Structure formats: structure tokens, C-alpha cells
Structure 1
Amino acid sequence: MADTSDGTPSSDRSVDAIRRYYDDFAEQEQDRLTKDVAGRVSFEIHRRFLERYLKEGHRVLEIGAGPGRFTAVLAERGTRVVVTDISPVQLHLNEVNVTAAGAEHAVQARHTLDVRDTSRFPDSSFDLVLAYGGPLSYAFDQEREALAGLLRIVRSNGVVVASVMSLWGSWRARLPGATQLAIRYGTAVTDAVIRTGDLRHVPGMIHVCRMFTWEHVATLVAESGGEIAGGSASNWASLEDPTTLSDIENRPQLWERFLAYESEACASPGARDGGTHILFAARRPPTLGSTLRV
């Protein structure tokens, strides 16, 4: 658990901090995708992206399930779900919320799980792995091994659908805060974050993660033995003017049209770095043997 050579905390220490963060965050995570209009757009983009790959009857492993918003979506689509999260508190809230939503019938099991270690599951155990909310951004220096482990447990031609935090999109969306970091700590700190995507370079940062560009995601998938099946930003136009966005949301026909446009825009190659998260689907090719080990 020693710190890395550049002074940032080790992966183990960082993951322990993330576990404590989400234990403490508790019920607030439930509202993250509903509390404002940009969050509601993000939820729709995530849902529509997932549904490209999801089929009724699929057995799904949900990584970082949190309080259950997408567990309920999976249940609605007629899948069988194994629910996991690094936080025991979030796992308990998942059971409470999913039961309240009448979706508990779809859940086969729940486990506390670190995305870096899926060794408890046999090869080819699932049709699809869902890792929304950025679990791979919390694997820090072990994201390649983590994604390879997820590809191992999906069936041949199965898909890992995941999100990671976006480097350029987060800078775009949070420019005032990023500027204050440069003023307070100096540009050497922000240069290190831009160079590595690693927020552990920021002194005193509580919620740390690794941010990615689309190029980084494509390289990660290839190095993990997978093939890119699709990609998207989480938001594009919906990061701009909240007043206009609220007006659109109050007009159902216009809102549905906006969501269609936004989904298409987010999926375009030129926009994939522009949202707060990057969504991607990594397919396990038939040539990836069932005895793959990481």
C-alpha cells in the first residue's frame, strides 16, 4: 500500500478512500441524476446507450450499482441482475430502493465488490456487464487489469457497457473550479492533472478519480483484449444553458426531440470528449479464449 513514485497515494489507499466517500455520501447518490435538468438528460443518455446492447433475458453483472437507479432499469427490461458496489452503504440502499420500486424480483444476488477483482465469477458468466458511474475511473493504475477481468466474465461477443469520467468534458463543465485550483496550487498541479487525468495530484482533494479522453478509452479497451462497439458523451448541448434547457423540458414534444438530438450528438466521434462522462461499449471477441486470466 506504499505511495507511488510521484507521491500520489497507492491504488489500494485511493480505493479505500472512495469506499469511505460513498459510504458517507449515502442517500445523496440517489439524486445525482435527477436533481437538475442536466442530470436528467445524462440519465436518458445513459439509458438509451445501454438499451442498444441489452436484451430481455440477459444475465447482467452491475458494477458500482449504487442506490439502484439502473438496477430498476435492468429489471424493467426483463434481465436477471447480480448487483455489486464497493460501498456496503450503497449496497444496502440499493436493496431498499429496488424493493420499493417493485424490482427486487430481478436481483439474483448482491455482493460488495472492488472492480479490480472479479475473480469470484467464473469465465463467461454474464451476457453483459454494466459499469456506470465510473467504477473504472476508481481503479486508478489498475484499470487495464480491471477491464480485462470484466471482459473475461462476459460470454463470447458479450459486451461491457461502462462509463468513465471525462478529462476534457470535466474541464469544460467545471472551468471556474479548475481555474481556482490553478490559482491556489499553481499550474504545475493542473498540468499534472491534464497530463495524467489523475485528481490525486490535487492536494486535499476528497473525491479523487482518474479522468479519460476518448483516445485513452480506445487504447484501454484494446490493451484489455476487447473491441470498441460504441461510444458516447454523457452530455453535450445540455451542459450549456440551464434556463433554456428547463424551458425545453417543460414542453414534452420539444423535450423528446431534444433528447433524440442530444443522443445523436453525444454519440458522434467529435463530441465524445465533450461531456462529464464518456460512455463506451467494449465487446469480447470470439478469439478471446474462455481461459483468459489477468
Structure 2
Amino acid sequence: MSYNPEIPKNRYDNYGDREWTRLEKDGHGELLYHVHFDILKRYINENDKVLEIGAGSGRYTKDIVKMCNELTVGDISSHQIEFNKSKMKELSLFDKIKLFCVLDVLDMGIFEDSSFDCVVCIGGVINYLLDKEKDGINEMLRVLKPGGTLIVGAMSFIGASLYYLDGIRYEKDQFGLEATKWVFNTGIQDEEHYPVPSKHYVHMMRSSEMDALFADYPITIKERSSAGLFTQAGDSALENARQDKEFWKLIIEKEIAFTKMQGTLDCGMNIIYVLEKN
């Protein structure tokens, strides 16, 4: 299946405020937030010019803008960009952001080569690119300065299959065992094999696939991390843990520590790579 920009555009145009609330409404989201925040604060420098791609409603925009010298915000969804603007105004951060723009990561021609010290593309942007994954990486590296940092994330197939196993079994009854084998073998939900009503066609990735994706580029991998590792304990266990503040604080500390271990890289809900352009 070929990349269709209308799929992520329509999904997030109709997402409402869920992109803003999802990282704070429950333990699952909170774990994702803290791991990503920890990485951002360690790699973004106060003098950096930063581009945030797939910024959504601004859950990380509000943090990144305080870490850097200049921030440009982009997303394929005009609704999410407008929501992001409104949130930044609400937080008195709007005037600190250089530019808000509606754009596709495959076409960032409005930016010159080597324009940014850091490019942030976390969440699931590259999962939607399908056959255009390398084109997306090419474009992000094009606008990044030599020696600059690319922070890129993806939805994890193995972590998601652990968490959503019951849903996968349910969908097996809808689409058949061969479709389920296809998803397990490729991580790809496409229209041919997996015609989900939501039309959420994506390539959920393994770390080995991300390694292969970056192998041919002039980059150095500085860090690999999972995120949402403790999510596998289940929603009930997480919510119980959140009720005990000192215990939850410890869980967050260990989430950040354990997600850096090689053996946990594919076990969270997201995978994050930090790359330096050579």
C-alpha cells in the first residue's frame, strides 16, 4: 500500500482535543510523556533552532519552546495546528514560536537545507509513510545541519501487539487468520489485508526495522529507547499505582531507566531514536 497523506490528515483533523489530553488522562499516557520529555530535555540545547514535525496539539511544543532558542511547529493537520496555536496562546507561549505551518514531512520545501540544529519527529509520523519512509527521513536530514540532532519516534509493533492482543484476536475473527499472520509478520495494517473501519493504515515498527531504515544514512545513533514499558502491566495496575504518589514517582523513574535497556527496546508502546547527522 502506498502512502496516502489524507489518512493521517483526516484522522487528526477529526481527533478533537484527544491529542492534547491523551498524555495526561491516564498512566499509559503519562509514562509516554515522561520518557519523551526526558529525552527532549537532554538533547535540545538553549541555543538551538528546532523544527517540531507532527507537533499535533502541542503537548510537547509547550516544553520544547522553553528548551530552545527558536521553534518552528509543523503538522499535516490544519485542525491540530489551530488547536496548538490556541493552547500556546492560553499558556502565554504563542509569541515565543517563530512559525506554525501546515505541511507534510515529505514536502518541507519552505525550509532551506541545513536550517535547523534539531528536528523532533516523535509519535507516529513515520508509521504513516509506508513506502515513503526513506523519503521522510531524507527530508528531515536535508533540513538538519551537519552535527545536528534528529529525535524520531515510532509506534512499536511488538509493544502494541502485547497491549492490544485481545483486540488482535477479535480482528482475526473479522479478517481471518491469514490477515492476522500478515500483521504479525510485517507490522503493517493496510487496506488489502486489514481493512479496519477506522482506515488506520500504518506500519508499526520493530527496532530492527528502524536500524535498517537508518543504516544507509550519514548518521550516528546516539540513543535508542522504548516508551510506555510499564503499560504492559495493564490499565488497572497502572491506575492503582498512580493512586500511591511515592510509588508512582518511583515507577516513572524506573520507566525512564528501564526503557534504555537493550532488552526492552521493542516492549514499550513507542520506540525513540536519537540520531546525529554526520
TM-score by length of 1: 0.89
2:39 to 25, 49, 59: 49
User: Which amino acid letter does the alignment assign opposite residue 29 of structure 1?
Assistant: E
Kept after mapping to 1: 8 A contact 2:50/2:68: no
Aligned to 1:213: 206
* Residue 219 (structure 2) pairs with residue 226 (structure 1): yes
Amino acid at match of 1:248: A
**Aligned partner of 2:156 among 156, 166, 188:** 166
1:268 to partner: Cα distance: 0.8
Q: Which amino acid aligns with 2:195?
A: P
C-alpha distance in structure 1 between counterparts of 2:149 and 2:95, whole Å: 23
Deviation at 1:183, TM superposition (A): 2.1
Which amino acid in structure 2 is aligned with residue 209 of structure 1?
Answer: V
Q: CA deviation at 1:256?
A: 2.5
Structure 2 unaligned segments of length 5 or more: list them.
none
5 Å-filtered alignment, 1:11-50, equals: 11=3, 14-50=4-40
- Residue aligning to 2:274: 281
Counterpart of 1:276, as a letter, is M
Pick from 126, 129, 154 the counterpart of residue 119 of structure 2: 129
1:94-142 Cα distance to aligned partner (Å, 9 max, x none): 1001110111132101111111122321111111101112111111111
Where do 1:191-206 residues align within 5 Å? 191-200=181-190, 201-205=193-197, 206=199
Q: Partner residue of 1:185?
A: 175
Three-state SS of the structure 2 residue aligned to 1:267 is coil
SS for the counterpart of 1:232 is strand
SS of 1:109's equivalent in the other structure is strand
CA contact (8 A) 2:40 2:64 kept: no
Number of residue equivalences: 275
TM-score by length of 2: 0.94
Deviations 1:214-261, CA, capped at 9 Å, x for gaps? 011111112243221111111112331434433433343333222111
Residue matched to 2:107:
117
Across the aligned residues of Structure 1 and Structure 2, the Cα RMSD in angstroms comes to 1.5
Residue of structure 2 in register with 1:240 after alignment: 233
Matched to 1:222, the amino acid is: A
Q: Distance in 2 between matches of 1:147 and 1:282?
A: 11
User: What letter is aligned with 2:233?
Assistant: E
The residue number in structure 2 matching 1:256 is: 249
Counterpart selection for 1:266 from 256, 259, 268: 259
Determine the structure 2 residue equivalent to 1:64.
Answer: 54
SS at match of 1:212: coil
Q: 1:267–1:94: structure 2 CA closer, same or farther, 3 Å change rule?
A: same
